Amino acid sequence: MLIKKPGSSHIKEHEVTDESIYRGRRQILKSMGFVGASALLASPHSQAISWFGKDDDEVFVTSPLSFNSVDKYKSDEKLTPEAKVTTHNNFYEFGTGKSDPAAKAQGFKVDPWTLQIGGLVEKPLTLGYEDLTTRFPLEERIYRLRCVEAWSMVIPWIGFPLASILSEVKPLSSAKYVAFETLEDKEQMPGQRSRFVGGGVDYPYVEGLRLDEAAHPLTLMSVGLYGKTLPPQNGAPIRLVVPWKYGFKSIKSIVKITLTDREPPTSWNRLIPAEYGFYANVNPKVDHPRWSQARERRITTGGLLSRNRIETKMFNGYDEVAPLYKGMDLRRYY
Amino acid sequence: MIRLSAKHLLLLKTIIHLGSLVPLILTFYQAVNDQLGGDPVEALLHFTGIGAFNLLLLSLTVSPLAKFLKIGMLIRTRRLIGIYAFVYALSHFLSFIFFELQLEWSLLISEIIERPYITVGFAALVILLLMTATSAQKVQQRLGKYWQKLHNWVYLSALLIALHYIWSVKSDITQPIIYWVILIFLLLLRKDKFIKPLKKTKKTTKRLA
């Protein structure tokens, strides 16, 4: 029997903009050519298409998930509406504009999917599409997401701890790090075909964690949000969520998890090493070279006039991870 | 030479007014009502910033275009386009203060001083402000030759904006580079203007030597 307990995270009816209204508004904006000034020059084709509304024809279908709500991961903070969580995304494989992924990823195929876990482990594991949502008990966790660009959201994720996978594959004692890799598929991901679309990132996108970070109970493998499976723009069918690190660490659409003895390369660090480090812990005291990280704009409901500027907290407010970095100079290991 | 009638000029100016004001007002309206995507602040900053740059480049296109088409009257639209470039740039700056920084004044000052891309953007805005403040014909007459000197700073302003733009993006520099190419092309059309004063100084230095 499936037991589904709606958690406190479930947004109240009156707080949510009706989806059809939201989409309608976006259509008006698009038809006037206002969504993303980037569309004006970068891709005349997509602009022409969106004028005629063709890219809205196909909508990725998500399905409801069964999960438990754990008291520990509930939250009183106001959630970011689902419509914003799923339309304001950084997923350069589908373009660098915030609305590009939602516009261009709707045809993304997630079934069949293969997630391989290997490297320095006793028992390598391969998970198929069905396994992602059935092999481990799913729970809902409300996490703050802090982007390195100084905005943040509060998102009800569905998933399971990465530690569950790790305890199954049994890392060897030589394993010190965990490397992650996003799908490489130039057919489906326009950003991987052209560096003009993909922001110059060297694909496939790769990320990494230290083994103790990966095994931390907060580290989540997410397969859904707002009670349903992930839409492609949010990293379907499975993604990482590391809530005390900047968002780019939370790699999307993962196909490979490899345990290694050396610090693995990470995409943003490779691209601009002076600005993005391996650790990328949320830290209000260490500024990005080009902007301050002391504060953030919390994206929830309300337009321009809502006062949504808040102080950024050390480790994004997840103090329980502090022992992981005891004795480390976090200015040096940014 | 084609003559533009007063009627045509009025029509052109009306188009410039509407084409600049309507999108600006509409975008602010949508932003206030949370209809501008996930992050209305970011969308507004992009729209006003790119809008200002577009208008400034358009104003720099007017005189080469007037020469090429041999329509001298076209020049008379230039001031209006330039003023709207300033209006957009000011909206961009005010949006940054009111909606991004949300009136945290101490941070505003430190950001302008410490963040190079904000410093150059602010410098460009100051130039546009000075040009707008001296744009009235009476002021132009009073300033005499200094007016032209001051308004030649527009080229520096455009370069600073291009720098501000390419410096502000995370990694996707394709679009800023396209803008750089357009700007350099517009500057090359005026290369005589930049070369003449250089030659003059060379001559004087020779004579002095």
Beta bridge partners of A49: none
Q: How confident is the model at residue B148 (pLDDT cuts 50, 70, 90)?
A: very high
Beta strand pairing status for A114-119 and A125-128?
antiparallel
Every domain of chain A and the residues it spans:
9-325
Q: What is the ipTM of this complex?
A: 0.84
Beta strand pairing status for A151-161 and A177-182?
unpaired
**B32, pLDDT greater than 70:** yes
pLDDT (0 to 100) of residue B5: 85
pLDDT (0 to 100) of residue A37: 42
Cα nearest neighbour of B116 on chain A: A290
pLDDT (0 to 100) of residue A47: 36
pLDDT (0 to 100) of residue B204: 58
Chain A residues with CB-CB distance to B27 below 8 A: 34
User: Are A312 and A321 contacting, i.e. CB atoms less than 8 angstroms apart?
Assistant: no
CA–CA gap between residue A209 and residue A178 (Å, rounded): 5
Specify the amino acid at residue B196.
K
Every domain of chain B and the residues it spans:
6-208
Which of A113-127, B64-78, B84-98, B187-201 is predicted with the least confidence, judged by mean pLDDT? B187-201
Please judge whether A309 and B175 are an interchain contact, meaning their C-beta atoms are less than 8 angstroms apart.
no
DSSP code, position A215 = T
Please judge whether B167 and A272 are an interchain contact, meaning their C-beta atoms are less than 8 angstroms apart.
no
Please tell me which residue, B156 or A21, carries the higher pLDDT value.
Answer: B156
Say whether residue B37 is in contact with chain A using an 8 A CB cutoff: yes
At A125 the three-state DSSP class reads strand
Q: How confident is the model at residue B207 (pLDDT cuts 50, 70, 90)?
A: low
Q: Which residue has the tokens 């990494």?
A: A208
Please judge whether A151 and B42 are an interchain contact, meaning their C-beta atoms are less than 8 angstroms apart.
yes
CA–CA gap between residue A11 and residue A225 (Å, rounded): 12
Beta strand pairing status for A114-119 and A254-260?
parallel
Helix, strand, coil % in chain A, rounded to nearest 5: 25, 20, 50
Q: Which CATH superfamily is domain A9-325 in?
A: Oxidoreductase, molybdopterin-binding domain (3.90.420.10)
Residue B19: which of B53, B57, B51, B60 has the closest Cα? B51
Cα nearest neighbour of B30 on chain A: A303
Counting every residue written for chain A, the total comes to 334
Distance from the Cα of A19 to chain B's closest Cα (Å) equals 13
pLDDT (0 to 100) of residue A262: 98
Residue B47: which of A37, A271, A308 has the nearest Cβ?
A37
pLDDT (0 to 100) of residue A50: 41
Cα nearest neighbour of B53 on chain A: A37
User: Are A71 and A212 contacting, i.e. CB atoms less than 8 angstroms apart?
Assistant: no
Distance from the Cα of A297 to chain B's closest Cα (Å) equals 8
Mean residue pLDDT across chain B: 92
Say whether residue B167 is in contact with chain A using an 8 A CB cutoff: yes
Beta bridge partners of A240: A221
Residue B27: which of A34, A87, A98 has the nearest Cβ?
A34
- In order, the DSSP letters of A20-54 are HHHHHHHHHHHHTT-S-THHHHS-HHHHHHHHTTG
CA–CA gap between residue A290 and residue A293 (Å, rounded): 10
At A203 the three-state DSSP class reads coil
Mean pLDDT of B25-53: 95
pLDDT (0 to 100) of residue A196: 86
Please judge whether B174 and A42 are an interchain contact, meaning their C-beta atoms are less than 8 angstroms apart.
yes
Sign of the dihedral defined by the CA atoms of residues A188, A189, A192, A197, in that order: positive
pLDDT tens, chain A, 334 aa long: 556 555 555 554 555 555 555 555 555 444 444 444 444 333 333 333 344 444 456 899 999 999 999 899 999 999 999 999 999 999 999 999 999 999 999 999 999 999 999 999 999 999 999 999 999 999 999 999 999 999 999 999 999 999 999 999 999 999 999 999 999 999 999 999 998 899 999 999 999 999 999 999 999 999 999 999 999 999 999 999 999 999 999 999 999 999 999 999 999 999 999 999 999 999 999 999 999 999 999 999 988 888 889 999 999 999 999 999 999 999 999 9
Neighbours of B181 (CB within 10 A): 11
Chain A residues with CB-CB distance to B116 below 8 A: 290
Specify the amino acid at residue A245.
K
Percentage of residues of chain B with pLDDT beyond 70: 93
CA–CA gap between residue A144 and residue A318 (Å, rounded): 9
Interface test with chain A among B25, B34, B92, B180, by most A beta carbons within 10 Å: B34
pLDDT (0 to 100) of residue A31: 45
Whether omega before A231 lies within 30 degrees of 0, making that bond cis, reads no
Specify the amino acid at residue B46.
H
